[in-house]
Chains A and B, each alone.
Chain A
Amino acid sequence: EIQLQESGPGLVKPSQSLSLTCSVTGYTITSGYDWSWIRKFPGNKMEWMGYISYSGSTNYNPSLKSRISITRDTSKNQFFLQLNSVTTEDTATYYCASCDYYSGEYFDYWGQGVMVTVSS
Chain B
Amino acid sequence: DIQMTQSPASLSASLGETVSIECLASEGISNSLAWYQQKPGKSPQLLIYGASSLQDGVPSRFSGSGSGTQYSLKISGMQPEDEGVYYCQQGYKYLTFGSGTKLEIK
Give chain A's interface residues, CB within 8 Å of chain B. Answer: 44-48, 61-63, 95, 99-108, 110-113
Contact = CB atoms under 8 A, between A and B. Distances in A.
B91 A105 contact: yes
Contacts of A111: 43
Interface residue tally on B, bucketed by range? 20 to 34
B4 to A, nearest CB: 10
Contacts, number: 72
Given A47-B97, A48-B97, A107 B46 contact: yes
7 contacts: A45-B99, A46-B87, A46-B89, A104-B32, A106-B49, A110-B43, A110-B45
Contacts of B66: none
B contact face: mostly helix, strand, loop, or mixed: loop
Contacts of B91: 101, 103-106
A105 B46 CA distance: 12
Given A110-B44, A113-B43, A103 B99 contact: no
B51 interface: yes
Interface in B60-106: 85, 87, 89-92, 94-97, 99-100
Nearest to B42: A112
A103 B43 CA distance: 23
Given A44-B99, A48-B96, A48-B97, A105 B32 contact: yes
Contacts of A112: 42-43
Contacts of B45: 110
Contacts of A99: 95
B97 A102 contact: no
A42 to B, nearest CB: 12
A3 to B, nearest CB: 11
B95 A102 contact: no
A103 B30 contact: yes
